Structure 1
Amino acid sequence: MHADALTRPGQLWSAGEVLSRPGPVPGVAGAYGWHFEEAPHPDLPSGRLLYVGIAPRHMATRTSTQNLRKRVRYHFRGNAYGSTLRLTLGCLLGLELRRVGSGKRMTFTKAGETVLSGWMAEHARVCWLEHPEPWTVEAELISSLDLPLNLDQNRHNSFHPRLTEMRSQARQRARELPVTS
């Protein structure tokens, strides 16, 4: 079963390992799972899988150019605008979301993203499962596992309403603040 590869992986990888060159993450399609040694919120369990994602995303007209290596690395060092996982973690950790650039993008600004990257380097670990069409297993994983950090396709999770509200409040506060660089 696909879930076992993510819930009970043979190895979990740290930011340092994933970001090293050439690094262990393959440049192929698949699903990835995020485990947290320390939970990002007191109401969440630690030491287990809390989020899954896929790369590439399958869209109606095309498939994205992402792969496991690009996507996992981005989650570790990108920003909240390009990573729903980073957006979720930052909101749970109480970082201030801000509108940046033209005002349409929202991130935790350079300082906040640096704090988030440091927190992830210390507490987040990732594993993956190679799969040629990961979108075919995503719904199965989300419906069969307790993944409190996933929002899409996950309304059945008891943490969903709380996380949705926290993210909504963070976005609303960001809209009320001036745009920053």
Structure 2
Amino acid sequence: MADVPREPGVYVWFFDEIPPGVPTDGCYENEHGTALYVGIATVKRTLRSRLRNHFRGNASGSTLRLTLGCHLDLPLRQVGSRLTFGDHEPVVSTWLAEHGRVACVARPDPEPLELELLRSGRFPLNIKDNPHPYAKSVSELRAAVRSAARAAGASA
């Protein structure tokens, strides 16, 4: 992480193993794997802090972690107002470390590049502004898992 800029920018996650059920038709591929997710870092949350959050954060602070945990069928639970995979958060961290590679580019105005990449329709794990046909399935999966966690938390 030391070489990741403390600047705004865009990052793309590549995976050498595809999470269960994720389609890869039309995705970018290179020697690092298949590109499944694109994200943005702003002045407030720089590339370094944003990527650190994905690697070591929790389901509430990283939509990528939430999505991966849902695809890995990890139990989500509600703790106070936050949703977390709890003791299973390290499973997401380990999976990301073993199978994920991230490429980033620092840009003072990252939004246009992120939008351009998303509109290409090649990133199945993104939801917002994403025309990829799997985006709706990701949204529904995350909503169902969140709803179940909230219902379980309310009955506890």
State TM-score, norm by structure 1: 0.77
Match of 2:68 among 89, 97, 119: 89
- 5+ residue gaps, structure 2: none
Show the counterpart of 1:31: 10
What is the rounded CA distance, in whole Å, between the counterparts of 1:142 and 1:53 in structure 2? 9
After the TM superposition, which residues 5-154 of structure 1 pair with which residues of structure 2 at under 5 Å, given as runs? 18=1, 23-45=2-24, 47-56=33-42, 65-100=44-79, 102=80, 104-109=81-86, 111-154=87-130
What is the rounded CA distance, in whole Å, between the counterparts of 1:42 and 1:160 in structure 2? 12
Give the secondary structure class of the aligned counterpart of 1:38: coil
Identity of aligned residues (%): 46
For residue 136 of structure 1, report the CA deviation from its aligned partner.
2.3
State TM-score, norm by structure 2: 0.88
- 5+ residue gaps, structure 1: 1-17, 57-63
Paired AA for residue 94 in structure 1:
D
* CA displacement 1:115-137 (0-9 Å, x = unmatched): 11111111011010111111122
What is the rounded CA distance, in whole Å, between the counterparts of 1:88 and 1:147 in structure 2? 13
- RMSD between superposed Cα atoms in Å: 1.5
Paired AA for residue 107 in structure 1:
T
Does residue 173 in structure 1 map to residue 152 in structure 2? no
What is the rounded CA distance, in whole Å, between the counterparts of 2:10 and 2:22 in structure 1? 26
What is the rounded CA distance, in whole Å, between the counterparts of 2:21 and 2:142 in structure 1? 16
What is the rounded CA distance, in whole Å, between the counterparts of 2:133 and 2:126 in structure 1? 11
* CA displacement 1:44-91 (0-9 Å, x = unmatched): 3382111010111xxxxxxx5110011011100000100011111111
Paired AA for residue 165 in structure 1:
E
Give the secondary structure class of the aligned counterpart of 2:153: coil
Show the counterpart of 2:138: 163
For residue 143 of structure 1, report the CA deviation from its aligned partner.
0.2
For residue 145 of structure 1, report the CA deviation from its aligned partner.
4.3
Identify the range of structure 1 (37-46 vs 159-168) with the bigger mean alpha-carbon deviation. 37-46
